[in-house]
Amino acid sequence: MAIPALLQWATGFLMRPVCPGFEDVHAWVFSLDLPSAMQERFSTFLSPAEQARAKRFKFPDDRRHYVAAHGYLRRILSHYCQVEPHALILESLPSGKPRVIGAGKLPEMEFNLTHSHGRGAVAVACGRAVGIDLEKVRVEVDCRRLASRYFSAQEQSSVFAASEQRLPGVFLRHWVGKEAYLKGIGVGLQFPLDQCEVILTEAEERAVIRCQGETGFSEAWTVRYLPLEEEWIGGVASQGDQWMVTVCSVSTLGE
């Protein structure tokens, strides 16, 4: 698979943990279906509150995926903070975005977690807000109906013009871009989605976000899409456009 400009793979990377530079965002993508021994180990990483929340899930798969996603988040953050995963103390800001406090705190570190259909991803940045989203392409989704309800007129035109074969991917690039941006600014899907406009480039490897506010449309954020398998769409959103994504492998984390 060709890697778009401003995307690179990390191979044997971070022998000594380093917080990403201002012009770099690290994206970690992983499966949530873990071997039982690893699942048990990850459960020990979680705080008492996280463990209690995991127990409240009705369905076993949801419980396992929650433990895997939050276990990986703590394992990844511990890689940068140089403390044990269970020792990290996370608190939520009023916006709902989490941050590390206490031991291992890196004042400018920003991070975001997403998970969907058995897969998860974490974005880590330093000195810049960041959001990430990941969705599985599903042909049964009524893309045009959802676009009519949630997308701006320009976005609807882009979706409606897509061929049947390309339709799910085009729709999800818009949706993933919106979610990554809204998670990055810490507001989530309560923001009117048609006021957050995703403008894809011709090659569809990135997008510009135009968000309507009191002073009109702002174009301060960019989405860069991750080089994933055809059935997945993932994207990272951050401020400006002078930054790149390094796609990291959890295999580099070791035991």
Above pLDDT 90, what percent of the chain?
65
Identify the pLDDT of residue 166. 93
| Angle at alpha carbon of residue 49, lines to 45 and 51, rounded to 5° | 50
Identify the pLDDT of residue 16. 42
Identify the pLDDT of residue 189. 61
Domain co-membership, 16 together with 68:
yes
Domain that holds residue 25: 7-133+242-253
d(CA 221, CA 206): 11
Query: Phi then psi for 143, rounded to 5 degrees?
Result: -65, -40
| Angle at alpha carbon of residue 225, lines to 131 and 181, rounded to 5° | 30
Note the pLDDT tens digit of each residue in 120-135: 999 999 989 999 999 9
Q: Is the pLDDT of residue 13 over 60?
A: no
Averaged pLDDT for residues 92-99: 80
Looking at the domain assignment, is residue 237 inside a domain?
A: no
Averaged pLDDT for residues 165-169: 94
Looking at the domain assignment, is residue 80 inside a domain?
A: yes
Q: Which residues, 6 or more positions from 44, have their beta carbon under 8 angstroms from its beta carbon?
A: 86
- 236: which 2 tokens? 């990272």
Domain co-membership, 71 together with 91:
yes
Name the least confident of 108-117, 146-155, 191-200.
191-200
Looking at the domain assignment, is residue 190 inside a domain?
A: yes
- 45: which 2 tokens? 């990483």
Q: Is the pLDDT of residue 96 over 90?
A: no
- Residue 129 Cα to chain centre, angstroms: 12
d(CA 235, CA 206): 8
Task: Quote the mean pLDDT of the chain.
Answer: 87
Note the pLDDT tens digit of each residue in 193-233: 878 899 999 888 999 998 876 444 455 899 999 999 999 99
Give SS3 for 216: strand
Identify the pLDDT of residue 6. 52
Domain co-membership, 186 together with 63:
no
Averaged pLDDT for residues 153-180: 95
Domain co-membership, 124 together with 50:
yes
Within the chain, where are the H helices? 36-43, 48-55, 60-81, 143-150, 153-160, 167-185
Number of structural domains found in the chain: 2
Identify the pLDDT of residue 238. 95
| CATH number of 187's domain | 3.90.470.20
- 124: which 2 tokens? 């880590």
Looking at the domain assignment, is residue 177 inside a domain?
A: yes
Q: Is the pLDDT of residue 71 over 60?
A: yes
- 255: which 2 tokens? 């035991």
CB 180 within 8 A of CB 132: yes
